[in-house]
Amino acid sequence: MDDLPPLPSYDDPSKWLKKIKQQRLKGGKTLRTLCRLFNTEIRTMMTWSATTAVVDFVAPYAMLRLLAFLEEPDDAIVKPILWVPLLFIGPMTRSLCYQQYIFTATRLLVRVNISLVQEIYETAMKSYIYDDSVDLQKTNGHLKSQSAKSSKRALKSSQANLTSLMSYDVDAIYNSRDIFYVATASPIATTLALVFLYRMLGWPSVFGVLALLLLTPLPAMASRRVSRIQQSVMRATDVRLAKISEYLGSIRTLKYFGWEHAAMDSINEVRSVEQRRLWRRSVYAAAISMAGDLLPMVSLLVMFSIFVLFTGLPLRAPVAFTSLSIMETLRSQFVWLSNVSRYSAQGAESLRRVDRFFDSAGEIKRHPEGPLEMKNATFRRTPIAAFRLQDVSLCFKQRALNVVTGPTGCGKTSLLLSLLGETVLESGLATCPRDVAYVPQAPWLQNDTIRNNITFYSAFDEARYDAVVEASGLAQDLRQLPAGDLTLVGEKGTSLSGGQKQRVSLARALYSPSSTLLLDDIFSALDTHTSTLVFEKCFRGGLLSDRTVVLVTHYPPAFQEADLVIRMEHGRVLPIPALPNVQQALMQSSGCTTPGTETDSSSLANPETIDHCDSPVDPSATIPPAIYERQPATGGRIVKETSATGRVPRTLFFQYMRLFGGPFYAPIAVLATVSVQLAYFAITYWLSLWTGSYEKYERPDTMFYLAIYAALIILFLIMQVTNNLIYQYGSWVAAKKMHKQLVSAVLSAPISWFDDNPIGRAINRFGNDTRSMDTIIIDWLRMSIDNGLRFLLRIASVASIMPIFALPAAIVCSAGFAIGEMYTRAQVSIKRLCSINYSPVFSHFTDSLAGLSVIRARAGMDVVFQRLLAEKLAVHARSAEAQYNCNRWVSVRSDLCAATVAAAAGYVAYLRPGSAGLVGFSLTNAIGLSQTILTLVRTTNELEVELNCFQRMREYADIAPEEQLSEEKRAKAAAALPASWPIAGRVEFHDVVARYHEHGPDVLRGVSFVANPGERIAIVGRTGSGKSTLGLSLLRFVDIVRGRITIDGVDISQVLLNRLRTSVTLIPQEPVLFSGDVHSNLDPFGVASESELRSALAACTSIQVPEGSTAAVNHNHSSPPAGQRNGHNGNKSSRPLTLDTPVAANGENFSQGQRQVLSLARAMCRRSKVVLLDEATASVDHETDMHMQRVLRSMFPDCTIIAIAHRLRTIMDYDRVLVMADGEIVENDSPANLIKKQGVFWDMVRNTGEYEELLRMVEM
């Protein structure tokens, strides 16, 4: 990047965002906005295109006069010394004008990209982002089936749609920029061509024009059809990208359950729909391409036919070949028009999609600034959701702790989001401070260092930072990390445990200058010791003094410290009992028990410090104006995106063509191209014979020559469209194979690969790179082969007639290809930089959308993230402008070579005159050679540049799979294991030492224990002690460097990964649901019967899903009906889950606790003998937790259960407890015995605040 020219100041992204916003305020759709914004650039482009169209006829006119001189030297008025230089001056002038047009157009391209991407991003940052596809389909009263029962719908997530807008649609909009060239140049070129033709052919040219006008609607009709097909293609692309984004974002869950193949099938199924539509578009595109040849050739045939049949005049060489040259110019215009019409159809559809986004984007309406307060407020989670928070009237206590509790799915998280303005306020009033630190239940972290995640673009204050790290319990974790707080957390915090992620998220809120904190169930992912530590140092320390805290929790000690406790149920706030019994009443109704030891209830704030801070902190004073002080990452494992150096290997061209079909498909395609070019040259050569016949014969057979000429044109057109379809089909097959390989390779990659590579990079392969494979590479490939063959045939045809021409042609062409080689070496590297520099834009876009509520809660943070995007776009724009300017460099020099060749051919023809027909044939090819060289250099270089996309996809398709076994070894391993394994469920760890990576530290150290069949074993310990790692080792997600793990005596290292993970069920700490319905989430393979699935759901009968949490729609956005308003609540009528209940992307239409319940039902459907629970009940209330434990006992009576738990009351009735510390088992016995020993487990029980209650549970 340092070698590239800097981005000009007038192309600074922030300036263009400001300009497009100003133009948007004037009204009109996106097209009109862009036209106003880039009015100067568009005028400049049209001026240069008009000039180019005029000077394009200089060379044909010079050829006409030169051929006339050669035919009748005595009649010439002006000597050829004038016409030969014009063969050079005309093409060079055209080149300079055209390159000026391209320079302006590519600068426009960069500006459109940075303007629209920023505007889309800013609009998304200020709008409601939710998945409405579930609601809309439910409104129709049925589920739209796309294919199999296991995948009834492919739902679109708003995040995936936005990603598609900024990649596919913005790209399609600026790729249709050449419509301005065609709109200006084509009419001028056509008019001038008709004038020339009329002066040469007379009135017969009028019939040629009529034929042209009659045939013109054909490509227009095909273009309209392409536009409609493009709409369906984009819809299918949206669905595919949504699925891929969803699956890659939840890759761990897929691998936990061994569902990679189900995900592959789902993606491939959607891809097949997309490809069927792509093929239909390709057929119409081939027809449009043929029309580019059809129109001028048929018009010329009509003119020649009428001219020779009805005028009785001979068809002389100057007239014939000048007409041919002019029609060649027209042909290039119409071919370009056909290509531009396809791109314009895509651009028009993309403009409509962008308009729909801006029109439908519902801007977040911020509450008036003030204290946290609600008055008779009714909220919906989304504008069309049925579930409401109804008639909520709350006045939260300032500079105090406010606790919110209630059963799973009652609306606690919705209450916090409503305070932030993230939901729709239908009635009532609400106020909220402008600067709020929000900690969501599912932690959101940036792919950055731990330190930068905590400081979150605030100025670094070491003393405050150290206090926050200590209070959040991260000090010991940071000491254990080699890079300390400069360790990269990875995408979605993958390098941290669940508890560590939650504490980093909490630390970010604590470090912030915000005077108001909203904390959503922060203790659910923490163990007892860490929970106690965090509560003591945060809530009883000084960090939260003078700060208003709203805490959603089921954590018992919090109720004692709270100044206000709020209980919710069915979207309503229940009546508050009179003090002093409020805390005890609410704890009992929440399923909590009063701790056995009394603790003095005190205010959160220290009385001495309250008087010093009567006003909240000014948020604007602490948000830094710049973001450049963030510390670089020196630890972690995110690797830099690979970038090959030098040019693309030439073998890549053959690798691509091998994907076309069988071994003979590529040679057949090349032979078809050879046939097309021979047919094209046969037309010109036959015309030379026809015109030469008037010199040989007194009365030549005009009908004979005309019939052969017409037959050759028809043959050429048929072969051209056939050749086009051959290449289109080969490309279609290649894209299908490549995408399938890519999906298989990425989903089969080891989990460590996802730690090293952000998902944004993979999305870029499935997005822009796949688009290149689908539509772009094949066009450059076909044109490269076309022009390569045409170049050889033109050289051969000229040299055969004028042998002396071979020497200057060889010299000039060698110089041209040397220039092209220099260009390619630089261009390929710059193109790679463009691709690599766009991946961070993708990552920032998706990362920001995932944390919208956190970002928007902080005052001024949306501006910081907007500036971050501008910086990333500036880096990409810098490389993009260098790439386009590099194109201008090579184009001017290639045109110089081509113009020299044309002038040399004219001079040779002047020195060695011969038959006018053959000289016309050679001059036509010589002048055409200039265009051929230019096109050949451009197409081959563009092909090489675009093959970089194929290389990037190939690189990912060659990722080493997690399990590298040959088919023979795989079959042998599968046959060695009984189909019923495991039968008993006996799990044994034998001195297991494990690491996450080959050269990483030991995370399990000599772990040995036995879990007998049907035994229930709990694993407890401090966050980061190795509990989750122990569970992951049972599924082979870590490298076992010593020892072994067996299930029913079978070493799991000898079991196929997929078989192991489908035989052992893990209920993870962070539940994940996929778009579809409950049926597809419980049983994506269709293995279980309907009765088994219903039975699993029936076991969760106490979990009722409020109607608004599923897909029901209530379009009445006003206040609830009177019956509901006066009754207990309007959300109480709820219905149990059914197999047809819609599930939005990422399970967004369910609460965190409801997702966890569905995870339990999913485990029940698998009927595994070994079940792992990794904090499976952390996200639910105590009542639901007890219900889930009853379900586990009743539904898994003969299963071995290994449960990782932080809530000790959950595991007090387990058979055994393993206590872990630093990757080792320090205690192993029954809960009762461990309490009697008064060791580590006893200390954990004692610190829960529920000591007496837990003792009673053990005694029972």
Domain boundary among 536, 562, 591: 591
CATH of the domain at 1057: 3.40.50.300
pLDDT at position 1051 is 92
Helix axes 58-71, 317-360, angle to 10 degrees: 170
Q: Are residues 506 and 449 in the same domain?
A: yes
Instruction: Say what the pTM is.
Output: 0.70
Q: Are residues 204 and 168 in the same domain?
A: yes
Q: At residue 1140, what are phi and psi to the nearest 5 degrees?
A: -95, 0
Amino acid letter for position 1004: L
What are the residues whose beta carbons fall under 8 Å from the beta carbon of 312, sequence distance 6 or more? Answer: none
Q: Are residues 946 and 1018 in the same domain?
A: no
Q: Are residues 211 and 342 in the same domain?
A: yes
Q: Is the four-CA dihedral 1093, 1096, 1101, 1103 of positive or negative sign?
A: negative
Q: Are residues 668 and 803 in the same domain?
A: yes
Q: For 72-97, what is each residue's pLDDT tens digit?
A: 766 656 666 778 888 888 888 988 99
Cα–Cα distance measured from residue 482 to residue 173, given in angstroms and rounded to the nearest whole number: 47
Tokens of 599: 């603790």
Are the C-beta atoms of 638 and 753 separated by less than 8 Å? Answer: no
pLDDT at position 1118 is 33
Residue 224 lies in a domain: yes
Residue 675 lies in a domain: yes
Nearest to 901 by CA among 938, 929, 937, 920: 929
Counting the structural domains of the chain, the total is: 3
- Whether 747 shows a pLDDT value over 90: the answer reads yes
Q: Are residues 900 and 1016 in the same domain?
A: no
In the DSSP assignment, the letter for residue 552 is: E
Residue 284 lies in a domain: yes
Cα–Cα distance measured from residue 382 to residue 389, given in angstroms and rounded to the nearest whole number: 12
Amino acid letter for position 371: P
Higher pLDDT, 917 or 24: 24
CATH of the domain at 792: 1.20.1560.10
Cα–Cα distance measured from residue 1251 to residue 613, given in angstroms and rounded to the nearest whole number: 38
Q: What is the mean pLDDT of the chain?
A: 80
Q: In what order do the strands lie in the sheet with 516-520?
A: 436-439, 516-520, 548-552, 401-405, 564-569, 572-573
Residue the block writes with tokens 């015309």: 687
Residue 1135: CB atoms within 10 A of its CB come to 12
Q: Are residues 304 and 253 in the same domain?
A: yes
Q: Are residues 914 and 993 in the same domain?
A: no
Q: For 1060-1114, what is each residue's pLDDT tens digit?
A: 998 998 888 777 888 788 888 888 777 788 888 888 877 765 544 444 443 333 3
Place 647 in a pLDDT band, splitting at 50, 70 and 90: low
Q: For 634-645, what is each residue's pLDDT tens digit?
A: 444 455 555 455
Residue the block writes with tokens 């009528």: 1133
Domain boundary among 559, 591, 623: 591
pLDDT at position 618 is 37
Are the C-beta atoms of 441 and 521 separated by less than 8 Å? Answer: yes
Residue 888 lies in a domain: yes
Are the C-beta atoms of 1065 and 1040 separated by less than 8 Å? Answer: no
Tokens of 155: 């739902």
Tokens of 19: 């300009």
Count CA atoms within 13 Å of residue 611 on its CB side.
2
Mean pLDDT value across residues 35-43:
92
pLDDT at position 1179 is 64
CA angle 440, 403, 397 (to 5 degrees): 110
Cα–Cα distance measured from residue 1227 to residue 1214, given in angstroms and rounded to the nearest whole number: 15
pLDDT at position 436 is 94
* SS3 of the chain: helix, strand, coil, percent, to 5: 60, 10, 30
Pairing of strands 1039-1047, 1050-1051: antiparallel
Place 64 in a pLDDT band, splitting at 50, 70 and 90: confident
Place 487 in a pLDDT band, splitting at 50, 70 and 90: confident
Place 1116 in a pLDDT band, splitting at 50, 70 and 90: very low
pLDDT at position 598 is 34
Q: Are residues 88 and 214 in the same domain?
A: yes
Residue 641 lies in a domain: no
pLDDT at position 206 is 87
CA angle 175, 179, 181 (to 5 degrees): 110
Q: At residue 1175, what are phi and psi to the nearest 5 degrees?
A: 50, 45
Q: Are residues 996 and 936 in the same domain?
A: no
Q: For 154-175, what is each residue's pLDDT tens digit?
A: 333 455 577 778 777 887 887 7
- Whether 693 shows a pLDDT value over 90: the answer reads no
Mean pLDDT value across residues 1176-1180:
68
Q: What size, in residues, is the chain?
A: 1260
Q: For 495-519, what is each residue's pLDDT tens digit?
A: 787 788 899 999 999 999 999 999 9
- Which of 333-347, 471-485, 1037-1051 ranks highest by mean pLDDT? 1037-1051
Nearest to 231 by CA among 145, 148, 168: 168
- Whether 275 shows a pLDDT value over 90: the answer reads yes
Domain boundary among 527, 560, 591: 591
Tokens of 95: 């080149």
Q: Is the four-CA dihedral 297, 299, 303, 308 of positive or negative sign?
A: positive
pLDDT at position 578 is 41
Q: For 1224-1257, what is each residue's pLDDT tens digit?
A: 999 999 999 998 888 888 888 887 777 888 888 8
Cα–Cα distance measured from residue 61 to residue 197, given in angstroms and rounded to the nearest whole number: 11
pLDDT at position 1109 is 42
E-assigned strands of 288-419?
A: 373-380, 388-395, 401-405
Nearest to 404 by CA among 604, 551, 525, 569: 551
Residue 1239 lies in a domain: yes
Q: Is the four-CA dihedral 582, 587, 588, 589 of positive or negative sign?
A: positive
Residue 1160 lies in a domain: no
**Burial class of residue 1080 (count of CB atoms within 10 Å of its CB; 0-12, 13-18, 19+):** buried
Cα–Cα distance measured from residue 588 to residue 576, given in angstroms and rounded to the nearest whole number: 13
Q: Are residues 324 and 439 in the same domain?
A: no
Tokens of 273: 């729909």
Q: For 305-318, what is each residue's pLDDT tens digit?
A: 999 888 888 888 88
- Look up the domain containing 1218 and give its range: 982-1074+1165-1259
Residue 964 lies in a domain: no
What are the residues whose beta carbons fall under 8 Å from the beta carbon of 884, sequence distance 6 or more? Answer: 102, 103, 106, 107, 109, 110
Q: Are residues 997 and 900 in the same domain?
A: no
- Whether 1173 shows a pLDDT value over 90: the answer reads no
